[in-house]
């Protein structure tokens, strides 16, 4: 992430079981070229050791308001920071920050800064949903604080619910967005994202499918949500995502078309990340095809062209984004698809390349705009790719606005 290189980031770690994930956040920030100044609360020491954090960060851990080397460490840290991130942020830290209660170095630094602040809550579901926490989060949002909402899944006590700290890549992406100044540029924008690969039935148990995991689509949806958008995902995969994102589950290309037709007309941005099957069987066998009946003859027919239909009926000022998964002639094929489908931009990737495309946590893409400009994004995690795609979407939306 170029936006992180050479930037000064204060990483606050408070006392929750998710504190161990802050180590990976720190590592990713340093690997991206950032200068990381860590602050640990007293309770954080119960979960991870300061030696570990100091070894990975750019300077030793700061823990106390009473530092002989710097009589006002909170002021120095707050003024030098270009962004402050708290991961994990406990209910106690969130409440103290909301009230302006500077009872330790971390909360004092939060109050003594004018830099963007990214808060990453982590707690049990009952705590996350408590009216006091809900109110404090709403208050911080109203002040411009960036909230990276917790995820759903298995919690420390073994039960399931919302409250897990967001994954490190999502946190780093939010920090990058904050530093680029684009973290709320999609406030209130209605964004529709499709994700996963469609499955076309052959019989009761077999399908024609592809290798799409939905990871890139979900990364884009989560990044858009963190930038303030109202996001709906039409998805073929069962994958956890951030609270506040609506999910419409589908399986076939026709089902995806039907769902997209419900949401697209009122969406400001439509991002067709899904890998839609090009063909489906003309006839679907009701039961299971038996091997002893011999090799079946399967006749295929084209599926619906969702992207083409969207391009043909695109409302004024809607931004339509397509994806092109190619194995050769990448730019030529992508540019042709952009023109045929009436797209505003297309994201092209060579899925035959190492660690690129389907199933991987990384991707490498070229974003081609209708203006003719192309932007190459080298191999990076899919959250970084998501940020680049949404940056281009914001540019197109700005160009669409009346001058």
Return the active site residues. Answer: 210
- 252 CB neighbour count, 10 Å cutoff: 20
What angle (nearest 5°) sits at the alpha carbon of residue 48, between those of residues 45 and 54?
90
Q: What are phi and psi of 191, to 5 degrees?
A: -115, 130
The DSSP code for 155 is -
Residue 344: name the closest of 274, 396, 266 by CA.
Answer: 396
Calculated CA dihedral for residues 369, 365, 255, 249, nearest 10 degrees: -120
Rounded to whole angstroms, the Cα distance separating 91 from 382 reads 30
CB 380 within 8 A of CB 366: no
Residues 6+ apart with CB under 8 A from 190: 229, 230, 232, 266, 267, 268, 269
Peptide bond into 88 cis (omega under 30): yes
């Amino acid at each position: 992430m170029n936006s992180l290189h050479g930037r000064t980031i204060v990483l606050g770690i408070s006392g929750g079981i998710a504190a161990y994930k802050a180590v990976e956040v720190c590592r990713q920030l340093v690997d991206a070229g950032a200068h990381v100044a860590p602050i640990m609360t007293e309770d954080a020491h119960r979960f991870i050791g300061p030696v570990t954090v100091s070894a990975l960060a750019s300077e030793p851990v700061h823990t106390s308001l009473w530092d002989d080397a710097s009589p006002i460490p909170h002021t120095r840290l707050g003024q030098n920071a270009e962004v402050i991130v708290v991961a994990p942020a406990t209910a106690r830290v969130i409440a103290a920050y909301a009230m302006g209660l500077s009872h330790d170095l971390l909360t004092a630094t939060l109050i003594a800064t004018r830099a963007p602040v990214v808060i990453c809550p982590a707690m049990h579901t009952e705590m996350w949903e408590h009216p006091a926490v809900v109110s404090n989060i709403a208050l911080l949002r109203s002040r411009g604080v960036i909230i990276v909402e917790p995820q759903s899944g298995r919690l420390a006590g073994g039960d399931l619910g919302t409250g897990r700290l967001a994954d490190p890549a999502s946190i780093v992406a939010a920090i990058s967005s904050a530093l680029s100044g684009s973290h709320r540029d999609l406030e209130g924008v209605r964004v529709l994202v499709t994700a996963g690969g469609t499955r076309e039935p052959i019989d009761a148990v077999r399908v024609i499918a592809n290798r799409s995991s939905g990871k890139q689509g979900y990364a884009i949806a989560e990044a858009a949500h963190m930038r303030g958008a109202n996001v709906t995902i039409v998805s073929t995969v069962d994958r956890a995502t951030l609270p506040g994102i609506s999910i419409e589950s589908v399986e076939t290309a026709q089902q995806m078309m039907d769902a997209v037709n419900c949401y697209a007309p009122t969406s400001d941005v439509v991002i067709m990340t899904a890998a839609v099957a090009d063909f489906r069987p003309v006839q679907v066998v009701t039961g299971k095809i038996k091997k002893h009946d011999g090799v079946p003859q399967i006749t295929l027919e084209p599926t619906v062209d969702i992207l083409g239909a969207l391009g043909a009926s695109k409302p004024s000022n809607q931004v339509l984004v397509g994806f092109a998964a190619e194995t050769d002639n990448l730019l030529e094929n992508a540019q042709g698809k952009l023109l045929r489908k009436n797209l505003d931009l297309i994201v092209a990737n060579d899925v035959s390349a190492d660690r690129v495309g389907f199933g991987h946590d990384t991707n490498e893409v070229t974003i081609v705009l209708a203006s003719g400009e192309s932007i190459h994004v080298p191999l990076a995690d899919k959250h970084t790719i998501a940020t680049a795609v949404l940056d281009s979407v914001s540019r197109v939306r700005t160009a669409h606005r009346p001058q």
